[in-house]
Amino acid sequence: MRSDLKNSAEKGGAFYEQDLWGATGHFHKEEIAIGYKEGEFCPVCKTEITKIPTGSTTSYVCETCQPMKIES
């Protein structure tokens, strides 16, 4: 995770983010393993990636590699 965050920071953030001057980052969709790839397949296990609501946004998950853990 640290190397991914460092890589994104060095590229000025993600392609959809803007800085104070309106410039977008250079960390592109192709470099993201799961995010924004609904209907494509997980690079690890080949399960179809799904999009789920998470609060006011959405998340993209592989339900095999990232199973939902419901705590009671």
Given a cut of 90, whether residue 47 has pLDDT beyond it is yes
Find the farthest-apart pair of alpha carbons in the chain and give their distance in angstroms, rounded: 45
Model confidence over 4-27: pLDDT tens digits? 778 777 887 777 777 788 888 887
In DSSP notation, 3-54 reads HHHHHHHHTTSBTT-B-TTSPBPSB-GGG-SSTT-TTSB-TTT-PBEEEEEE
**Chain segment 57-68, per-residue pLDDT in tens:** 888 899 998 887
The reported pTM is 0.60
* Distance from C-alpha of 24 to C-alpha of 53, rounded to nearest angstrom: 25
Pair 23, 13: CB distance under 8 Å: no
